[in-house]
Structure 1
């Protein structure tokens, strides 16, 4: 792959990892672990995985294009379902 493509994938992956961590932490702030333990565990795993991917990318490891697609999918899902998590349950 060309240097430009690798740099673009790295920049996109770093940006998406930060968005995934922010979205997961925001969900964790809104969801009570006692009420929805599986959802909370899933968000913790996503936040830890995205942060780990961010750290390894910043250390200069090569970016997997499929990882970038995966992070983009998680961000798209979080954006599309943001109303579901933030709705008031009564």
Structure 2
């Protein structure tokens, strides 16, 4: 995921969200189910990144979003992406 996000006021966040990767997992990634929520794994490197993502998603209330944040090293140690069959999300810039 790259680039800057625009805030509601039209300004840009000062900090670039790279490098950060976002993955979907759980029922939302299975073609034979109708998910009631979206499970997202956010793999990050910088301490401030989870707070930015939480703020960006705080106004979404029409579908529950469950967030898991992991430092890149944590994900490597736990092998979460492979074990949960996560799907990387790509965003237009």
- TM-score, length basis structure 1: 0.28
**Greater C-alpha radius of gyration:** 1
Q: Work out which structure has the larger RCO, using CA pairs closer than 8 Å and 6 or more positions apart in sequence.
A: 1
TM-score, L = length of structure 2:
0.27
* Structure with the higher fraction of residues in strand conformation: 2
Is the helix fraction higher in 1 or 2? 1
